Amino acid sequence: MKYCLSSWTVQFISCGIDLFYHVVISHGQTEHLGKFPEGSVYVFDAITDADMRVCAERSYPYVNVAQPGNRGMNRDAGLSYVLSSYAVSDDDVVEFFDGDRYPTTYRPEAVQELMDGHDIGCMLYSCDRDTRHGRIYVPLRGATLVDTGTLCNPFYSCGFAMKVGAIRKVMQFNGGSLFEHRFTRWGCEDQYLGLVCERQGIRVALTCETLLNGDVGGDQFTHSDYRESLQQYVDIIREKGIAVRNEPRPSVEL
């Protein structure tokens, strides 16, 4: 099912507003299933009876993947569902959410306006809380253009919107997937996506127009295998010959 801003239906036709699709990866987060935009495609890698009951009762489309834990692969499974089920165009947008990062503020019209107005291929959604080191200033309205060409860049995939055209550019580099599927542990699949966006000339911005529940930052300290993820990250960067800057371009407020 496609999500349409019903109150903007007429404007869709007259103004050519892009369509927003939504992919939610959910793992044991049944209680949040109804908190995402209508029409979200849920991807379960450890589906429960409760998950299936909720999806059946509410007619949620969902994908059940067999291998648990690979967040990038799971997002790609939802993306495949969207691309094969709907007639999407390059200007349409696919939003990706983690199952516990439901939007607490949701302004897709403002997001689209920013993406179209500033040629943003990928818009990262801010979280309610941000305890990362080295915060990037993001205004309450508008967005900040960020540099994802550094090793530990600010790309995080718990909630972001991406133009289908930009998605296809990344998939071209990755050999058919948006995410690199070799990241099987927590972490780094998003920062690697940030590097690929930079390489493919995709502009990435950060916005508060849509806010996510929770905190960005600090999770790395709760995962004891983070070092393995980092090593995988470095290995793939070197394998692909991706250049990494050690000094980011200044962020630009849009």
List contacts with another protein (CB under 8 A): 133-134, 149-153, 220-221, 226-227, 230-231, 234-235, 237-238, 244-248
Please name the amino acid found at residue 118.
H
Taking the C-alpha atoms of residue 158 and residue 102, their distance in angstroms, rounded to an integer, is 9
Least distance between another protein and beta carbon 118 (Å): 23
Least Cβ distance, residue 232 to another protein (angstroms): 9
Ramachandran class of 86: left when φ > 0, alpha when ψ lies in -120 to 50, beta otherwise: beta
Q: Which is nearer to another protein, 5 or 230 (CB)?
A: 230
Q: Smaller CB distance to another protein: residue 6 or 246?
A: 246
Q: How far is the CB of 158 from another protein (least distance, A)?
A: 18
Comparing CA positions, the residue from 249, 231, 28, 59 lying closest to residue 146 is: 249
Identity of the amino acid at 116: D
- In whole angstroms, what is the distance from residue 144 CA to residue 138 CA? 6
User: Which C-beta is closer to another protein: that of 115 or that of 197?
Assistant: 197
Q: Which is nearer to another protein, 58 or 223 (CB)?
A: 223
CB of 49 or CB of 247, closer to another protein: 247
Distance CA 155, CA 174 (A): 17
> Which one, 108 or 149, has the nearer CB to another protein?
149
Least spacing, CB of residue 221 vs another protein, in Å: 8
Q: How many residues does the chain have?
A: 254
Closest separation between CB of residue 72 and another protein, Å? 19
3-class secondary structure for 67-101?
A: CCCCHHHHHHHHHHHHHHHCCCCCCCEEEEEECCC
Q: Please, which residues bridge with residue 189 across strands?
A: none
